[in-house]
Each structure stands twice: as C-alpha cells, then as structure tokens.
Chains A and B, each alone.
Chain A
Amino acid sequence: MASMTVRICHLYPRLLSVAGDRGNLMAIARRCAWRGIGCSVTEAEVGEIPDFTQADLILLHGGQDREMTAAAEDLAAKSGPLREAIEGDAVVLAVCAGYQLLAHSYTPSAGPSIQGLGILDAVTEAGPVRFIGHLGIECSDFGPASSGSSASTGGRRLVGFENHSGRTFLGDGARPLGRVIAGAGNNGEDHTEGARYREVYATYMHGPVLPKNPWFADHLLSRALAHRYQDVEPLAPLADQTEDQAQDAALRLAVRQAPTWRTAATAVSRIVRQPSGRHRVPAGTSR
C-alpha cells in the first residue's frame, strides 16, 4: 500500500470556505498519512481549470450566497471535464452550496434562479425557515456499522451541523445519502438527506462531516483509491476512539434537540412572523 497516492482536487478552497469544511481535506490527508498512503492536493479557484482526469477525489464545499453565485458562473466553464470525471467514477464530496451547485438549479426567494450543473437530479428552492442545528442520518446502503454508537442498529450513521434555508427535492435520478434521524436534511419534510449519483456524495452536513464520521472518510478514500488502482486491499484499520467519541457526543446532541425539525420549523416560522420575538432570524436571504 505504501506506494499508493490519492490525488485530490479541492475546488474553490478560498471562495467556498466558511464553516470549517477544510477539515474534510485534513481528515483525508491525515488518514492517508497514518496508513502510509500518499496524498497530493491540487487547488482550483475561479478562472482556473484543473486537469480533472488526474483527480481521484474532488471536494466542493459550502459558501454564502454571494460566493455561491460566483462559483456557479465559474463552474459552467469547468462543466465538461468535471462531468466526464464524474462519469468516470471519480469520487466527489459536495457540501451545502456545493451540493446545490451540482444539482439542476437554486431558486432564491427573489431574483433569477442560479443554474447548477444538473449532474444530480435535484432542485433547490429558498424556504422561509433557516435550518440551523445538528443533523443525524442513517445510511442503509453502506453495509452494516462496525463501530461507534450505531454498531447495534444496523445502518451506518453520519452526524454533522446544517445551516441552510435552501430546500432540496430529489428527482428519480438521484437517491438520498441517508434517512434523517435528527434535524431537517434536504427539506425538513420527506426525511431524506443528501444525494448520491455514481461516486458523487452530496450532503448538507458541515461539522465538518469527515473527521467526525471516519467510516465515511474511509469509504470515500477507498473509492478514490479504486478509481486509480486495481485490486486495492481494504484500508488498514485505525484507532478511531477520539473520532467515535466525537460522533457519539454529536449524535446525542442531535437527538436531544427539538423532537423533530418539523415541529421546530413550525415554531421558528411562527416566531419569524412576529418580529418582536427574541429568536427572530436576522433579515436577509441566504442559502
């Protein structure tokens, strides 16, 4: 394994960087280093077109509305080679605004829609409530859980922190990343969270998502290695007590917050309509 190297393409590391998402890159880099796997990182900002044929793992993170608009304009120029890479099973982690940009469109409460790449069969519209809180999900199609709090329940769990007012609805061509057990997820209504297509994994989870969910980081890493190498052996296990404890603690907080997001969302929207409430969300639209 020591001769292997995973090649990461980090899109818009400065433009789309607001909620600690660079921790996802740190998680992959450290978990490679602990196993003696090489890790090379190429960064591409606005106006720079990387060689997507050389990327095993592409990171596209979250950002605020102005930054997302700039990224959408630039992403159109990167669209062709990025799409080819995805059809060639390069692994993509897309978070929040990055998720919305890979789908068909984002429709704000006012003004024109932002066109996405349409790689994910999903549309997003601005909603009246901003979903801010812990988000826990269960993923059924990644095999059984092997460690952590979800070991007994079968499905593997992910936990993170969501902060979005966009509501995303999946079409038939995309399947969800998981089912919501705490928080809002895609839209606060249908209990879906995130989207998958080929090796694209899209989610609303900040947190950042990979350090706290080491099985998911390792899944992306092994798929990225499989993109480059044939007959890759399973990844060597790591001592993940610190990660598991952080995941357990966050899941406990997630489950303990409001009973369901629908109740909380209804309550919040009631407060929002009464501007004198002390929990009023500051004015202004955002994702």
Chain B
Amino acid sequence: MRTTNGVQVPPPASERARLALALAMGKAAGTAAQALKLGGGTSVSGAVARRIDPEILQKVAAASNASKVAVTGSNGKTTTCRMIAAMGDVSGLRVLQNRAGSNLLQGVISAAVRGTDLHGRLDAQLLVLEVDEGWVGRVNAAVQPDVFVITNIFRDQLDRFGELYSMARSLEKAIEALPPSSTVVLNADDPLVASLAPDAPARRVYFGIQSDVSNDSDAPTPEHSADTIRCVRCQHPLTYKAVHMSHLGEYWCPECGAERPHLDVAVTTALPLAQGQGFEVTIDTPAGTFPLQVPLPGVHNLYNAAAALACAQSVPTQSMPAQPMPAQPMPAQPMPGQPRPDDARRALAGLRPAFGRLEAIHADGREVVLAFVKNPTSYNTSLRTVLQGPGRRGQPRMHLLAAHSHTVVDGQDFAWLWDVDLEQLVPRLASLTISGNRAEEVALRFKYAGADPAAMRVVPDRAAALRTALAITPPGETLHIFAGYTPMRELRAVMERHAWVPPFWQE
C-alpha cells in the first residue's frame, strides 16, 4: 500500500489483480512442486510469483502490520531464526518465516506467498526472514525490517563474494538504509560486525559472550582460520582477553584503544548439560536476567541464543506497532508481546537442531549425525563440537562420510577445505567414505591431513556413498556426515525416502 501525505492509498485495481494472480500462481506452483515430490516448493513458488509481479514483496510487506525481522551473516542464520520464531510463538505472536535455508530472494518471496491470502494480506504478527548476505540489500529495501540481525562475518563463498570486505561494505549500506525507528542487532564479539556503520541512524543493540564463560587460556589467540584479527580502525593486531570461537571474543587494540563495545545482551554463564546436549545459560539483558536452556551443542549456539533474545526484545510491541523503543531508561522487565524469561526458556528448551545442523537421525540401527559445513569456521566448529562431546568417550573411533559438490549454492572453489583442521579428525577415523561431484578434491585434502588413500572409499554418487558408509558402520555406532549444502540435502533426501527423517520442509 502506498502512502500519500500519511494517508494510505489502495493501489489501483490492475495492480491488485496482478498481485492476486502472482499469489495464486505462486501458491499453485508450490503445491505442485510438493505433490510432484520436487522438494518442498520452498523457492519455486517465489520464483513464479515474482515473475508475475516483481513488486510482490514490497506490496505484501507494506500492507502488513506484522513486525519484521531480517537475519543475515555468514553462519548461524537458520538456527537464530528458529530461536526468534520460537520466542515469538511463546509470546503469543503468529509467526511466519522462510523455511529450510531458502534465503535467496525467491525463498523469501515464497514465504510471503505462503503466508498471505489472495488479497496479499499477511496472516502473521511477526515475520522472521533468513536472508543470504548477497541479497540482504534488496530484501531489506523491500521489507523494511524493524529489526536487522547480523550474526558474524567469516570467510565464506569467496568465489561468490570476492572478499570479506566487499561483503562488509554491502552490509554497512544495508544498516545505513535503516530508519531511526528500527534496530540493528550486532555481534559485539566480532570486530568487523561491531564496527559496521557506526554513524547509522538505527538503534544499535550489541550481543556477545562475557569473557569468563568459555575461556580457559591465559593468552588466548584466535585459531589460524580466523579472519578479523586486526583492528578494523588501525590494522594493528588485536589483543584478546577471551576467544570463544574463530575471531569472536573480547578484544581490544593496544595501538588505538578500540575495544569490544559494551554488551547489551550478554551470556554470563554457560554450564554444559549432560551428554553434551547443550547448555544451561544465563543471559543478562536490559529487560532483566534470563536463565535459559539451550538444547543445542557448541559455543556457536550461545551466540545464536543471545542474538535471538536481543532480537526478540527489540521487536516493536503489538500494542505500539512501528514505535521506536523508548530511548530513556530501558524497562527492567519485558514489554507486552516480548518474551518473559519463562516464555523464552520454554521456547528454547523445545528446540531441536535445524535440519543438517548436527541433526541426530536413527538410521537402520545406526545413529547418524548430519552436519552441514560450508566454510572453515562452520566446519571447525562442528568438528570440535563432535570431537569434544562427552558422548564420544564410549566411541573413541569415528565413522565419517565427507561430501562436497560444486553447485550454484556451494560454489566452485574448495580451497577453504585446507583451512579446516582435519588433522585433528583423521587420527580418530575408523572409516572414511568420500562423496560428491568434487570427491577427488576432498580425497586429496584428507590424504594431506594424514588419511591413507588406500583406506578411503571414494563413492561420488550420494545414495551409494550413504549405503557404503552405513554398511561399514557397525549397528549401534554412529556415522558422522560432514557435507556441503547440496550433498547434505541430497543425503537427507535419501534418508527421507527411508522415512528416517521427516521431509525438511515439514519440520
């Protein structure tokens, strides 16, 4: 809906008809794709609808009073969105989100198509959009998010984005385009993210992890594959008081004095739960202290939880749509429509891993742990979570299926595999199966990490590789799968056909 002098003017009839046709055809395409088992229809309906009405996203978003959240960053988008949606649910909001990592423009539009009726009315009070870093400028321009979350920036898809800094510049532009009434939620522990667009008009909320939470070293240094380890302002190497993962932690610059911003939303304690199934955490926020259970393993999920809580607290309340949060003393308790501590606890405690995010699957008498890995940080983080999990004690040796393919989504360049610490993994391997259309590349990397080529099973076909890997894994033991996005989806599809997992779009 357009506005003229603040008065909402309905669009002309021809535009309404075009929108209705786009929505109808989009919905039909999505239904047809599911019926024909072409997948979840998670992006085809958006592609069809956009073809008919290129302005569809703007129209649907502008006509809706829903609060709008956009989440981007290299890693953690999907899980953070699930947490935000869960908190919206328990706060009594009707939530709509794009599903299943369909985070390019088509996937975002598909969500809008699915959530609206044929008049373009969005049946939701909270719209949670996971947005690919390369598309966030266009999605934000169309949707005008009330809250914009940036999780982190790691080296990722350099064959697509060129360099880290060009990515950072485009995110900076997206922040600068936000109006003062909106909020940008930033990872304070990531020096590059924390430094983005310091003079932008949007309200800034910083989340992070307090230093003593997971720090056990006197002189912490980021791992070799960390990216932003020099001061963004003056390029001097940063000094860290704590490093929680990659280059994320509490840092300062001994040269120019730049330091991590004050944490508005801070993880202050995190005690591992039994079986390595997550953490009991405390998060301090302007709206009080939240004792939460994060039922997902790995320190990266502490960041995801803090980001989600910071976002949920920044969503405009339903009683005052699109009003900025009061700048003066923050209330010491949540606003109506924002999660109270017990709600937030209930929301997170009920979470299961998103598909392919260390997802545990019962398969033919074996356990499968399916891990989607796409860059050095996500691979190393999953690797450490798996290797350090207390559940590994009974099974000192691991069965592994590693799969990578070049696709539009996964890119062409697999040099980043050489930045993954596979040397830590290889001595623990009981068996190694390698798959994907870049299996040769993966086999080479494992050979130079110390694996014996004669003992590797190189099976490029995904279904055959899964059969091979499961056959080598004795009943009762665990097969770990580390795979890029496309082979992960393909392997999961095989397991869907066996009914070992629900289809990804149903979960």
Q: Which residues of A contact B (CB under 8 A)?
A: 13-15, 17-23, 26-27, 30, 46, 64-67, 69-70, 130, 132-134, 161, 163, 165, 206-208, 211-212, 239, 241-243, 245-246, 248-250, 253, 281-284, 286-287
Contacts and interface: CB of A to CB of B under 8 A. Distances in A.
A23 B415 contact: yes
Contacts of A211: 418, 444-445, 448
B129 interface: no
30 contacts: A13-B224, A17-B224, A18-B163, A19-B158, A23-B448, A64-B165, A65-B163, A65-B165, A67-B230, A130-B162, A132-B162, A133-B159, A165-B162, A208-B415, A211-B418, A239-B453, A241-B453, A242-B444, A242-B447, A245-B440, A249-B440, A250-B441, A281-B166, A282-B167, A282-B169, A283-B170, A284-B163, A284-B166, A284-B169, A286-B163
Contact of A249 (B166, B170, B438): B438
A206 B415 contact: yes
A242 B163 contact: no
Nearest to A31: B448
Nearest to B451: A242
Contacts of A27: 448
Contacts of B444: 211-212, 242-243, 245-246
Interface residues of B, number: 39
Given A20-B417, A65-B165, A246 B440 contact: yes
Interface of B: 134, 155, 158-167, 169-170, 173, 224-225, 227, 229-230, 235, 237, 406, 412-413, 415-419, 438, 440-441, 443-445, 447-448, 453
Nearest to A62: B415
Given A23-B418, A134-B412, A282-B167, 4 more contacts: A18-B158, A163-B162, A281-B162, A283-B170
A282 B224 contact: no
Nearest to A33: B450
B158 A163 contact: yes
Given A242-B453, A286-B162, A19 B412 contact: no
Contacts of B445: 23, 211
B53 to A, nearest CB: 16
Contact of A282 (B134, B225, B419, B443): B134
A20 B440 CA distance: 17
A16 to B, nearest CB: 12
A14 B246 CA distance: 13
Q: Which 5 A-B pairs have the closest CB atoms?
A: A20-B418, A284-B166, A23-B418, A20-B415, A246-B444
A251 B419 CA distance: 22
B161 A282 contact: yes
A165 B438 CA distance: 26
Contacts of B160: 132
A248 to B, nearest CB: 8
Given A212-B444, A245-B440, A20 B165 contact: no
Pick the most buried of B160, B230, B415, B417: most chain A CB atoms within 10 A of its CB. B415
Nearest to B227: A18
Specify which of B230, B237, B444 lies most central, judged by the most chain A CB atoms within 10 Å of its CB: B444
Given A206-B415, A246-B443, A282 B166 contact: yes
B412 A207 contact: no
A253 B418 CA distance: 20
Contacts of B224: 13-14, 17, 22
A282 B448 contact: no
A250 B414 CA distance: 11
B443 A64 contact: no
